[in-house]
Amino acid sequence: MKLPRKVMTYCPNCRKHTSHEVERVKKRRASELKWGQRRFRRVTAGYGGFPRPKPEGREKPTRKVWLKYQCVDCKKIVQPAAQRSKRFEFTEE
């Protein structure tokens, strides 16, 4: 999927169509205090093998692409639902 870095789209804050700068969302480091991570650390602690089997089968053919749209006028950021894409790149226009 190819997408320009600037797009005209609706801004819910301005309540009209304005120019938006598009940015790909980077994955942040997982918090060690979340319940799933605490459970994972507890289960994997101590003597013994890894508690879960490796997932079998192939990888999915597409990845989810999360995008952030920042309004040029009001600087508010909107992050809609992710889209699936095999490849993603920004075009220079």
Question: Tens of pLDDT along 40-70?
Answer: 889 888 888 777 787 888 888 999 999 999 9
pTM: 0.76
Do the domain assignments include residue 81? yes
Q: Is residue 45 part of a domain?
A: no
Q: How many domains does the chain contain in total?
A: 1
Which domain, by its residues, includes 12? Answer: 1-27+61-86
Q: Tell me if 67 sits within 8 A of 24, measured CB to CB.
A: yes
